[in-house]
């Protein structure tokens, strides 16, 4: 079925509006013709990446969970006591989302590109 702009607007007004708007546009920066090369390049972004306390806090749903993360990291010696105090203060005053948006399931797989 071939549609011109007039018919598209008549039959699918919302779709036509979305296609003509500047919202939701995605830039394509490159095209890879070799699958293995493309996969290797994409997956190298997080090679040797070690998540820090903020990365773990951003996976939390509640302030209680974030407090547990801070306590654990401090107990294991991953963060200094002063840093833990600063994190707790921010958590208490501004909440868990003040550390950044929630990192959901498969975050790193979704954000390697």
The pLDDT value given to residue 7: 86
pLDDT band of 1, cuts 50, 70, 90? low
Tens digits of per-residue pLDDT, 33-92?
Answer: 566 665 565 555 656 667 889 988 988 999 999 999 999 999 999 999 999 999 999 999
- Give dist(CA 81, CA 87) in Å, integer: 10
- Give dist(CA 91, CA 100) in Å, integer: 12
More confident position, 27 or 103: 103
The pLDDT value given to residue 28: 56
More confident position, 104 or 112: 104
């Amino acid at each position: 079925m071939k549609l011109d702009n007039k018919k598209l607007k008549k039959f699918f007004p919302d779709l036509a509006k979305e296609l003509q708007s500047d919202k939701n546009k995605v830039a394509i920066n490159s095209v890879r013709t070799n699958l293995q090369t493309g996969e290797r390049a994409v997956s190298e972004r997080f090679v040797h990446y070690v998540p820090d306390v903020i990365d773990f806090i951003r996976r939390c749903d509640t302030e209680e969970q974030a407090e547990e993360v801070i306590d654990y990291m401090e107990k294991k010696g991953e963060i200094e006591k002063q840093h833990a105090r600063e994190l707790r203060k921010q958590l208490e005053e501004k909440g868990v989302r003040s550390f950044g948006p929630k990192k959901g399931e498969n975050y790193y797989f979704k954000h390697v590109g």
